[in-house]
Structure formats: structure tokens, C-alpha cells
Structure 1
Amino acid sequence: MKPQHLLAAATLVLATTAFAAGDPHDHAHAHTPLHGGVVVEVKDIDYELVAQPSVIQLHLRDHGKPADVSNATARLTLLTGTEKQEVVLKPAGDKLEATGSFKVAPGSKAVAVVTVAGKPSTVRFVLK
């Protein structure tokens, strides 16, 4: 077998194996938005960002169940075009929230640093 054929065959085998392996954890829960936002999973926690012009909410779910955010904090950097806005989210019932005036549009990017139980996580979103 020629070296280029061997390389192509090995690449195909590895790609098929990686595809078949799938995600390394059990997906007994869905990663779908429950509040009309954008969902991203980081370290087995689902973060759902709901960004509107007057309110930004961040919902956290641990394996499909709402996470306790009573002592959580979050700092969000919102990027819309060339505009950058820093937002502090605070506990509001079962979510983290900030009210005010926010420039949000499809394609806006947001980076949140969320601290729960003293452990920070960085979460990146692209709004739809």
C-alpha cells in the first residue's frame, strides 16, 4: 500500500472512531433553552443566557435541574459590533440577573465569568 493511501486509511479510521465515541458524558438531560436564550455547557453545567435590551438573565442547570445561584456571582462582557459593555449579574430568585440598557443583537458575543461555590467558570455565548 502506498504511504498516502495508508495515511488516508488511518485518518478515516481515527475520524470514524472519534465520531462513534461521541461526547464523554451521559446526555440524560437536554441542552435546549428553557427560557428562550442560548445554551452552552461547561463542566457539566448548562448556562442559558437570555439577553434583551432591558434585562440580561443567566440560568444555570446542573444535569437538567436548576442550580443554586443564591451565593453565585457573574461578570459578563457583552460585545456588539465595536461596542463593549461590562455587566454584573446578581442572584434574582433561581437565576442571575441585571437590568438596565443593553445593546444586544443577533451575532453579539458575550463572555461570562461565573463563580459558584467559590469555583469560577468562563462561558462564551453568541446570541441568535
Structure 2
Amino acid sequence: MKLVQLIVALALTTTGAAFAAENHGHDPKPLHGGVVVEVKDIEYELIAKPDSMQLYLRDHGKPIDVSKATAKLTLLTRMDKQEVGLKPAGDKLEAKGSFKIAANTKVMVLFSQPGKSSTARFVLK
């Protein structure tokens, strides 16, 4: 019985190590006060306010050039759906306007650069 427990403990330990290696041993931290998700080594940081939306992107901690990029956000708040286009604004993508956001708003991001695109999902707090 103790051998089985030892094998299970070793399996759990190596599984945790593999997960940590895949996650690069870090949790993405917000640098601009937003919500961060990491998808395929790219960190997406979304700052969602009732009057503005901002999206910052980092590749292994280094800012991604967004000067030729765009993003489309789909906001799902309770029964409301809103689509928002983001355009380059310095080191981020941004939109100004009136946005329906609340706790538990789900946000789907479609990020596009010439030759590639990616998606990320957020749940606002």
C-alpha cells in the first residue's frame, strides 16, 4: 500500500512540475491595473472601463508592437452583447465610448496583426 502511495505522490509531483514548466513558473501580473490572461506565451492585459477599453500585449514580458494591429472585443454582460473595435494608440490598442461592463462580464478578444491572429477570453471582476 505504501508503494502505491509513493507512486501516486511522485506522479502528482511530476505533473505539477510539468504544469509549472508549461506556465513558465509564473503567473502573469497586470502592469497597467487590468486583468491578464496568457495564451501561448502572449500576455493580454485588458483594462475595461465604462468609457474606455485598452489592450496591452506582451511576449515573454516584452511589449508587442501594435502599430499595425487591431482587435475586436465582444462583451457579454448578462443579456447584453456589445462589439468594440480597438485601434493602435501608442503602446496599446484602445477604444473610447460607452461600454456595458459589470462584474462577471465575459470578454472575447480577437487580436489581428498582418499575417496572424489570436484570441483570448476574460472574465471581469
TM range (shorter): 0.7 to 0.9
Equivalent in the alignment of 1:51:
48
Aligned pairs, number: 123
- Report % sequence identity: 59
Once the 2 structures are TM-superposed, how far is the Cα of residue 52 of structure 1 from its aligned partner?
0.1
Separation (CA, whole Å) in 2 of partners of 1:80 and 1:25: 29
CA contact (8 A) 1:30 1:64 kept: no
- Relative distance call for 1:83 and 1:25 in structure 2 (3 A) is closer
1:72 aligns with 2:101: no
Instruction: Report matched runs for 1:1-128 at 5 Å.
Output: 12-21=9-18, 22-24=20-22, 26-27=24-25, 31-128=28-125
Runs (5+) with no aligned partner, structure 1: none
TM-score, normalization: structure 2? Answer: 0.86
Say if 1:107 and 1:25 are closer, same or farther in 2 by CA, change over 3 A.
closer
Q: CA deviation digits over 1:43-93, x for unaligned, max 9? A: 211100000000000001111121100011111100111110001111111
Q: Gaps spanning 5+ residues in structure 2: where? A: none
Q: CA offsets, 1:2-31, max 9 Å, x none?
A: xxx96x87655433321122232645x761
CA distance in structure 2 between the partners assigned to 1:47 and 1:84 by the alignment: 21
